[in-house]
């Protein structure tokens, strides 16, 4: 599998636990973040399921993206 660029973050990519911030506000339930393009995809709140294929619906947000790595304590 091709390694992702360091500015791309995906849930479950195996690179550790991170917090995602958009314009300084923490984004919960983020599944994708692109720091260069200023994009965050997250599960909609409250959670909604697509009626046809039963997947969780996401929404795309735009702004200044910051990703902070969580240290294990």
Residue 72 has pLDDT above 90, yes or no: no
Residue holding tokens 């393009």?
37
How do the domains of the chain map onto residue ranges? 8-69
CA distance 5 to 36: 10
Q: Locate 39 and state its tokens.
A: 């994009």
Q: Locate 2 and state its tokens.
A: 């091709």
**Is the pTM of the predicted complex or chain greater than 0.95?**
no
The pLDDT tens digits for 5-62 are 999 999 999 999 999 999 999 999 999 999 999 999 999 999 999 999 999 999 999 9
What are the C-alpha distances in Å from 5 to residues 8, 24, 38, 39, 45? 6, 23, 14, 15, 28
Beta bridge partners of 43: 58
């Amino acid at each position: 599998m091709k390694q992702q660029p360091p500015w791309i973050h995906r849930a479950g990519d195996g690179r550790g636990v991170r917090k995602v911030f958009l314009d300084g506000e923490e984004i919960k339930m983020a599944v994708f973040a692109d720091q260069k393009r200023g994009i965050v995809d997250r599960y909609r709140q409250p959670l909604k399921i697509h009626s046809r294929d039963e997947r969780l619906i996401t929404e795309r947000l735009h702004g200044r993206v910051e990703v902070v790595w969580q240290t294990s304590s």
